Amino acid sequence: MPTKVLFFVNSFSRTGSETLIYEFIQDLNRQGKIEIGIVICDRKGELVDLIDKNIPVFYLNQQFSVLDKLLFHTGTDVIGKQIKKIQDSFKANLWYFNTISQIHLLSYRDQFHVQTIVHVHELLYNFESLQINDFKTMLQKCDHLVACSSLVKDIFAPFFQKPITVINSSIKFSEWKSHRKNKTTKSNKVLKIIGSGTVCYRKGTDLFIEVADILRSPFVEFIWLGKKNNNAFSEIIQLKNEKIKSVSFIETNNLEEYLTYLKQGDIFLSTSREESMGLVIMEAQALGMPVVATDSGGSTLLVHEKDGKIVKELNPEAISIGLKEVMNNLSSYNALDKLKYDYAIEFQKLSILIQNPLI
């Protein structure tokens, strides 16, 4: 019986976890050894239209209408009904959950007699938003856990009884490196410091604007590439920045726009409070930029003294000192010729696992 996999994703936007699984899915499809379907569990993201046309895409509506709520209160399992329709159509024998945000759907596993893989991109901070019952479901119903780095594996190893495979988050380095030749030459007048990611507390956007304020200068420009969330934290950041005017916030709608701005950078600054790996750091390194990063977990797996600096203290003053050190010694940092984690190797691990999830 051929392996038929349903990949459950949030929206297929350009977050690190969804960019990675998008690349994996495209390459798995070209390999031709398995049949692939995708379930979008939130709104449609910008990667959806780029998916190979032979891959069916299903939408799971979890935004309940008034009718849905009435049906729920009369005993109808609204989500289960949708899951059954998708499963009956595709007939998957393996469900693959990319991130922990959809693992409540694991409760339907036994009903459809499927094997399950959960790809965990999150560190402990993210688990505060996960209900204990959903976490217990994950421990019981997940057949194989994929950890995006050794840091994630270390969380689960003491108590998770099923197999764990580390498939390190990675990028196609040679493709990203090829953009170096078109990288904007550094201006003699303005040094550009780039940050990236969704505007949120975990990414430390508040720290980024504080650093920009401390190092305010007509010769330095701070740019943040990423979307705002529809929440109070994003609004606070916007209002504060409108007041102090230290950072240019730019939302990019596609990879081409993102690259256009990222290639302008002279230094990449990661102010994350917690990162399980950090694809945006890898992308900056591939473009030849030195990286200044907080000691957020995954940054220490990627950044070394020859290509950047790790700041141990998580406060704007310490980050500013570390960034200024790199700014003053920019010519001493070398562009990387390769990354520690090779995409081809990590993809091969996934390809083998998908076909044998219980090994």
pLDDT of residue 67: 63
pLDDT of residue 66: 65
Q: How far is residue 208's CA from residue 205's CA, in Å, rounded to a whole number?
A: 5
Q: How far is residue 96's CA from residue 99's CA, in Å, rounded to a whole number?
A: 9
**Which parts of the chain fold into alpha helices (H)?**
16-31, 66-73, 78-90, 109-112, 124-127, 132-141, 150-156, 173-177, 205-214, 232-244, 255-262, 279-286, 299-302, 316-328, 343-355
Go through the domains of the chain in sequence order and give each one's CATH number. 4-170+342-355 (3.40.50.2000), 173-332 (3.40.50.2000)
- H or E stretch including 262? helix 255-262
- CB of 221 closer than 8 Å to CB of 190: yes
Per-residue pLDDT of the chain (359 residues; tens, 9 = 90+): 679 999 999 999 888 899 999 999 999 999 999 999 999 998 888 899 999 999 999 999 877 666 666 656 676 788 899 999 999 999 999 999 999 999 999 999 999 999 999 999 999 988 998 999 999 999 999 999 999 999 999 999 999 999 999 999 999 999 999 988 766 555 568 999 999 999 999 999 999 999 999 999 999 999 999 988 889 999 999 999 999 999 999 998 888 899 999 999 999 999 999 999 989 999 999 999 999 999 999 999 999 988 899 999 999 999 999 999 999 999 899 888 889 899 999 999 999 999 877 65
Q: Quick one: tokens of 137?
A: 């479901």
pLDDT of residue 352: 93
Q: How far is residue 79's CA from residue 64's CA, in Å, rounded to a whole number?
A: 9
Q: How far is residue 90's CA from residue 85's CA, in Å, rounded to a whole number?
A: 9
pLDDT of residue 75: 67
Q: How far is residue 232's CA from residue 297's CA, in Å, rounded to a whole number?
A: 26
